[in-house]
Amino acid sequence: MKRRGRGGLASRADLKDEVRVLGVDDSPFTFEDDRSLLLGVVARLPGYVEGVLSAPVNVDGDDATAAIAKMVSQSRFVKQVRCVMLDSPCMAGFNVVDMDALHAETGIPVMSVSRDGPDFVKIEAALRKHFPDWERRLILLKKPGFRTLTLDHPVHVRAVGMTGPEAEQFIAKSVVRGAIPEPIRLAHLIASGVAKGESRGPA
């Protein structure tokens, strides 16, 4: 289900107060687990929660892109969400989100936001060891566009369907405290609490 006419923001001035975004993180898992839960928080920035979405995915699978696209397109918030924020392009291990495909499918800008930049040497070694399709996954992870933004704290960002200044605005409007956008932080807390009985660790 592709949305029309919403491939990006019209201008930086188009980013209004209380714009709605979807923050997505995965639940904790072990590599003996077959499945993990993707948890999405729909929030009016900076952090007023309006809804919670979820979708199961395979650990180290290849279904995260489709799961997030379905999560968005089948929700009642589909016409309101202006950005999908990912804790990482890797969900449930190395279940890599194709951010360009997700943007093309939903028509909604997508970004990943993390404290640490990718270590592609270690990532490539792990992929080569465990995945016959390691090259495909690595190509997705190494797509250009990563940049470091520094507000109160530096974060590493890749954005699709928006400019760098637009991505910076989204992050500036969504951080309540620290470095990570509140919708991602909330998704992490809820996913961890559901899986473990109590939320643990920062997003």
Q: Is 203 domain-assigned?
A: no
Q: Is 104 domain-assigned?
A: yes
**Residue 125 is part of a domain; what is its CATH number?**
3.30.2170.10
* Six token digits for residue 7: 């491939």
Res 14: pLDDT: 53
- Distance CA(63)–CA(105), nearest Å, equals 14
Distance of CA 172 to the CA centre of its chain: 16
Res 8: pLDDT: 42
Place of tokens 């499945």: 35
Q: Is 39 domain-assigned?
A: yes
Task: Give the contacts of 167 (CB within 8 A, at least 6 positions apart).
Answer: 111, 149, 157, 159
What is the tally of structural domains in the chain? 1
Mean pLDDT on 38-59: 94
Q: Is 6 domain-assigned?
A: no
Place of tokens 């839960």: 37
Q: Is 119 domain-assigned?
A: yes
Torsion angle, alpha carbons of 186, 138, 147, 175, to 10: 0
What is the average pLDDT value for the chain, to the nearest integer? Answer: 88
Question: Is the model's pTM score more than 0.85?
Answer: yes
Q: Is 4 domain-assigned?
A: no
Domain with 186 in it: 12-196
* pLDDT band, very low/low/confident/very high, at 201 (cuts 50, 70, 90): low
Q: Is 7 domain-assigned?
A: no
Q: Is 3 domain-assigned?
A: no
Per-residue pLDDT tens digits for 121-168: 999 999 999 999 999 999 999 998 888 887 777 889 999 999 988 999
Length of the chain: 203
Q: Given a cut of 80, is residue 196 above it in pLDDT?
A: no
* Six token digits for residue 81: 């969400």
Least confident among 17-21, 67-71, 81-85, 195-199: 195-199
Res 31: pLDDT: 78
Q: Given a cut of 60, is residue 1 above it in pLDDT?
A: no
